[in-house]
């Protein structure tokens, strides 16, 4: 996410120069970060849990006494942490990008 924002610095400067406000750029980046988190968590909760259950079933063949318990609280905690990181990272990137003027950012990439 941070690399994406840094690479697109000139694009954001162009958007600002044609009328997009800093608040709109920030909102766009935060929503992009939220989508990254949602897609990641969706894949983890579907494919990741399917793989986890499949591995457990293979393990159960070797150890019949094994019991599967799903760690609900740790999974929700990690999910919230991923969401928080995906919101905080674009905010911090915006702060560093917006320190320079639009003209400086447009000139920088040339």
Residues 6+ apart with CB under 8 A from 14: 106
Distance CA 99, CA 80 (A): 29
Q: If pLDDT is split at 50, 70 and 90, which confidence band does 11 have?
A: confident
What digits encode the pLDDT tens for the residues 34-91? Answer: 999 999 999 999 999 999 999 999 999 999 898 888 889 999 999 999 999 999 999 9
**Picking from 3-17, 18-32, 73-87, 96-110, which range would have the lowest pLDDT averaged per residue?**
96-110
Predicted pLDDT at 42: 95
Q: What is the largest CA-CA distance in the chain?
A: 68
The predicted model scores a pTM of 0.78
User: Is the pLDDT higher at 81 or at 94?
Assistant: 81
Nearest alpha carbon to residue 22 among 81, 89, 99, 104: 99
Mean pLDDT, to the nearest integer, of 5-20?
86
Please list the alpha-helical segments (H only) found in the chain.
2-7, 9-17, 22-43, 49-62, 72-97, 102-108
């Amino acid at each position: 996410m941070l690399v994406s924002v840094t690479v697109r610095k000139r694009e954001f400067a162009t958007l600002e120069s044609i009328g997009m406000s800093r608040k709109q750029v920030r909102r766009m980046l935060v929503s992009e970060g939220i989508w990254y988190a949602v897609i990641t968590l969706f894949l983890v909760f579907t494919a990741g849990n399917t793989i986890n259950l499949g591995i457990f079933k293979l393990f159960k063949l070797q150890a019949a006494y094994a019991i599967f318990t799903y760690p609900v609280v740790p999974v929700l905690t990690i999910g919230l942490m991923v969401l928080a990181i995906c919101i905080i990272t674009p905010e911090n990137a915006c702060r560093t990008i917006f320190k320079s003027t639009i003209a400086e950012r447009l000139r920088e990439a040339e």
